[in-house]
Amino acid sequence: MALEEECGVFGVFRPEAGYVAHDSYYALYALQHRGQESCGIVVNDDGVFAEHRDVGLVGDVFTAPVLERLGTGEMATGHVRYGTTGSRSRINAQPLVVNHMKGTLAIAHNGNLANASELRRELEMRGSIFQTTTDTEVISYEIIHERLRTKSIEAAVESAMNYLVGAYSLVVMSPQKLLAIRDPHGFRPLCIGTLDDGGVVFASETCALHAVGATYLRDVEPGEIVIAERAPEGAQAPISLRSIRTHCGTTPHTACVFEYIYFARPDSDVDGMSVHTARQRAGRFLAQSHPAEADIVVGVPDSGLDAAMGFSQESGIPYDTGFIKNKYIGRTFISPGQSSRERGVRIKLNPVPSVVAGKRVVLVDDSIVRGTTCKRIIRLLREAGATEVHFRVSAPPFLNPCYYGTDIDSREKLIACHMSEEEIRQDIDADSLGYLSIEDARRMAEPAKIGGFCTACFDGNYPTPVSDPEVSRYKRTIRTGVVKTDDTPTMWQMKEARP
């Protein structure tokens, strides 16, 4: 698997000041799979913000002395990052903290804006000075610009959403409130949980709720702004929740189907659908559409395991553990260069010869991007004695770049854009090759409450306008809003009319 993770966001609001930094620490540990580049926590103690951000894993960045320095507070927000935009440095770590005329703002973001470059140019023309290279800072400045002429932080967010195009699941913290925001398409997951003391948490995945002892309440709906704030004196609960639904239902829901294929943890539920179940369904569909005569089914750890189980259950071919993953090897261990990558794969994944030797093996993984990793894994199986390797992929072929938070930025890096399926099979040295169909990719998460899915990386049908020459053939109009119709003002007309 050559794709990288996205980001994970978390927020907590407790009735009494306490160690909310520790809550964030445990939640970010649970979300570490979504980003291993950098992480950060911001604690709000009665309007005073304390922050710590750095490059590295959660356990390395947040030592006991660091957590002690963050102190106590009623609110906190946290973030783990894999950078799909912006350079990989400490300055781009989140949450971002911005001081402005009406107070302080902390923001954590998962996703990518499709119109970030246009918005950034516009903001720079209005005098904004950027300190980072991330979409998150663009969003924060849009919110602050609206905040200067609105009565509340939630009104500012509601107004700013008129100009944001693309994927954004946000946790925004002001001195008195904690907000969870999801874009109208619902690209990225975001859920709400409650604590025994009446507190409220927001998180990218339900696995983070479990890590802090929270009970799942519901998912944030696409386009919804959820506000957590102190309840009035005498209210039943100390923290109240209310929502703004102005942007709900303004566009079809297109959740990223790759959340179910790869990104989310298998013990999470995303929009009411078990990720583990969705992946097993994908494996069952693969067994139906691409059967194989084999002795054993094995999965590539970790996200190929559930699909391999589903393939085994549907086909009747026994499932077994064909690879052992070294859990102590981080991504930073693997250095650039062909020989280093070869050694990295051998150290990270080890075949079990007693399981695969002399066997015809069905090998299940979640995707083929460049083809280099799966080629090495197949070679490892053959060296361990496998007589045949039938490769099954629980995703369709990648044919298009993603603009919503997945690390696929160019067709040049996608093997399916340059080779036929038979050529790929020969290149990776598999005895047979089968991909999940786009229809089955949608069906694997069909029971989810979201309703629709984005499959643009497979079929090129982008749900929003995207500002990239590679997709100009789709004849999308680039502007800071919805897809342009004959009576829709142009971006420049919008700018002239905008306060």
Q: Are strands 103-110 and 96-100 parallel, antiparallel or unpaired?
A: antiparallel
Helix (H) or strand (E) holding 298: strand 296-299
* 191 marked ligand binding residue: no
* 271 marked ligand binding residue: no
Q: State the alpha helices, DSSP H only, in 236-337.
A: 258, 275-289, 305-315
Q: Please say whether the beta carbons of 5 and 82 come within 8 A.
A: yes
Three-state secondary structure readout of 49-112: EEEEEEECCHHHHCCHHHHHHHCCEEEEEEEEECCCCCCCCHHHCCCEEEEECCEEEEEEEECC
What sign has the CA pseudo-torsion 205, 209, 210, 215? Answer: negative
* 457 marked ligand binding residue: yes
Q: Are strands 453-454 and 73-81 parallel, antiparallel or unpaired?
A: unpaired
Closest CA to 360 of 384, 387, 393, 322: 387
Rounded-to-integer distance, Cα 353 and Cα 273, Å: 36
* 365 marked ligand binding residue: yes
Calculate the CA 270 to chain-centre distance: 11
Q: Please say whether the beta carbons of 362 and 297 come within 8 A.
A: yes
Helix (H) or strand (E) holding 390: strand 388-393
Rounded-to-integer distance, Cα 232 and Cα 317, Å: 60
Enzyme catalytic residues: 7
* 207 marked ligand binding residue: no
Output the known binding site. 256, 303, 365-366, 402, 454, 457
Output the known binding site for Mg(2+). 303, 365-366
Output the known binding site for [4Fe-4S] cluster. 256, 402, 454, 457
